C-alpha cells in the first residue's frame, strides 16, 4: 500500500445471513481526503462501513487500514486503531447529557487534559452543543443529535471518520450547515473521511473522489468533478438531464418566434 492510501478494500463480500449485500467491492481512501460512496437504498453502502468498523465480518476479501489487515476484528479494536463510525440514524445515548456523550466518544483515551481541550474544540465546531451541554441528548432536535454524533466520533481523534447518511431526515438548511462543518474539520484537522450519502449533490460538492454502488457492486469511480459531468450521474442522482432537456426545448421554441 502506498503511503498516501490510508484505507483499501479489496474484493470484499459481506452478507446478512443468506443475503449478500456487497459483492467484490474494492475501493481506496487517500490520507487527508474525503471519499464518498453513492447509491440507492439497498445498494450496500452502509454494509461497507459496517465491514470496515468490524460490525460485520466479510466472507471474502481484505480490509487494510494504514498498512494493517483489520477485517474480522472487534469494533473496539478498530476504534483503538483510529477509525470512528458515525452510524445512520445518529444513535446518541439519549439518557446521557450532551457532555457525557462527548466523554463516551473519548473512552479509549487517558489524557484527561486533552479530552477537556477536545470538548472545547467540539463546542467551537458545534456551538449549539455548548448551549445544550447539560441537556439529555434524547431531547435534542434531529440536527443537533447529528452534530453530537459527529462530535462524539471526533473525540477519539480518529485518523479515519466513517459517516453514514449524515443528511438523513434533516432539512436542506441543516444539511448544508453540517456538511460545511464536515469540510471544515477535514480542512483544519486533516481528518480523512469516508462518506456514505444519498444526497448526491451535496456529497459530490463535499468529497474529492467518489464511488457509485449498484446492487452491491462498484459500477463507477472518479474524481467528484468528473462524476458531476457524467450523464448517468446527472440523470439518476442529480435529476438534471430532464431539466436540461426542458431548457433546450424552451430555447428552440423561443428561437422559432424570433
Please state the pTM of the whole predicted model: 0.88
In a domain, 112, yes or no: no
Q: 197 near 203, Cβ under 8 Å?
A: yes
Helix, strand, coil content of the chain in percent (nearest 5): 45, 25, 30
Q: 228 near 36, Cβ under 8 Å?
A: no
Q: Which three cell numbers stand for residue 84?
A: 470512528
pLDDT at 69: 94
pLDDT at 146: 94
In a domain, 28, yes or no: yes
**Cα–Cα distance between 89 and 106 in angstroms, integer?**
20
pLDDT, one tens digit for every residue, the chain (258 residues): 457 999 999 999 999 888 889 999 999 999 999 999 998 888 899 999 999 999 999 999 999 999 899 999 999 999 999 999 999 988 899 999 999 999 999 999 999 999 999 999 999 999 999 999 999 999 999 999 999 999 999 999 999 999 999 998 889 999 999 999 999 999 999 999 999 998 899 999 999 999 999 999 999 999 999 999 888 888 877 765 544 444 444 434 444 444
In a domain, 117, yes or no: no
At residue 7, the 3 state secondary structure works out as strand
pLDDT at 2: 56
Domain count, the chain: 1
Q: 113 near 106, Cβ under 8 Å?
A: no
In a domain, 133, yes or no: no
**Cα–Cα distance between 55 and 71 in angstroms, integer?**
10
Indicate which CATH number applies to the domain containing 234: 3.40.50.300
Q: CB burial class (10 A; 0-12, 13-18, 19+) of residue 34?
A: buried
In a domain, 161, yes or no: yes
In a domain, 130, yes or no: no
pLDDT at 68: 93
In a domain, 64, yes or no: yes
Question: For residue 191, how many C-alpha atoms fall within 13 Å in the half-sphere facing its CB?
Answer: 27
Return the closest-CA partner of residue 151 out of 115, 175, 187, 176: 115
Which helix H or strand E contains 150, and what residues bound it?
helix 142-154
**Cα–Cα distance between 240 and 249 in angstroms, integer?**
14
pLDDT at 40: 85
Q: 11 near 183, Cβ under 8 Å?
A: no
Q: Which residue segment(s) compose the domain that 169 sits in?
A: 5-92+157-256
Instruction: Report CA-CA distances (Å) from 65 to 4, 62, 84, 98, 158.
Output: 11, 10, 13, 31, 12
In a domain, 184, yes or no: yes
Amino acid at each position: 500500500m502506498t503511503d498516501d492510501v490510508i484505507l483499501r478494500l479489496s474484493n470484499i463480500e459481506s452478507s446478512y445471513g443468506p443475503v449478500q449485500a456487497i459483492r467484490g467491492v474494492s475501493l481506496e481512501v487517500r490520507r487527508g481526503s474525503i471519499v464518498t460512496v453513492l447509491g440507492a437504498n439497498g445498494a450496500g453502502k452502509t454494509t461497507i462501513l459496517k465491514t470496515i468498523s468490524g460490525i460485520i465480518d466479510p466472507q471474502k476479501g481484505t480490509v487494510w487500514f494504514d498498512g494493517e489487515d483489520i477485517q474480522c476484528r472487534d469494533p473496539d479494536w478498530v476504534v483503538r486503531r483510529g477509525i470512528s463510525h458515525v452510524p445512520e440514524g445518529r444513535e446518541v445515548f439519549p439518557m446521557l447529557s450532551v457532555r457525557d456523550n462527548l466523554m463516551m466518544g473519548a473512552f479509549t483515551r487517558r489524557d484527561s487534559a486533552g479530552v477537556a481541550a477536545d470538548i472545547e474544540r467540539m463546542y467551537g465546531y458545534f456551538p449549539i452543543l455548548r448551549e445544550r451541554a447539560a441537556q439529555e441528548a434524547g431531547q435534542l432536535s434531529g440536527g443537533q443529535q447529528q452534530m453530537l454524533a459527529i462530535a462524539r466520533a471526533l473525540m477519539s481523534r480518529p485518523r479515519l471518520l466513517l459517516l453514514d447518511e449524515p443528511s438523513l431526515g434533516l432539512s436542506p438548511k441543516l444539511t448544508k450547515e453540517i456538511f460545511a462543518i464536515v469540510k471544515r474539520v477535514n480542512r483544519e484537522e486533516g481528518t480523512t473521511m469516508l462518506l456514505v450519502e444519498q444526497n448526491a449533490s451535496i456529497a459530490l460538492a463535499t468529497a474529492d473522489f467518489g464511488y457509485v454502488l449498484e446492487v452491491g457492486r462498484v459500477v463507477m469511480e472518479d474524481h467528484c468533478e468528473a462524476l458531476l459531468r457524467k450523464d448517468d450521474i446527472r440523470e439518476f442522482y442529480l435529476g438534471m438531464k430532464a431539466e436540461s432537456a426542458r431548457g433546450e426545448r424552451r430555447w428552440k421554441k423561443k428561437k422559432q418566434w424570433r
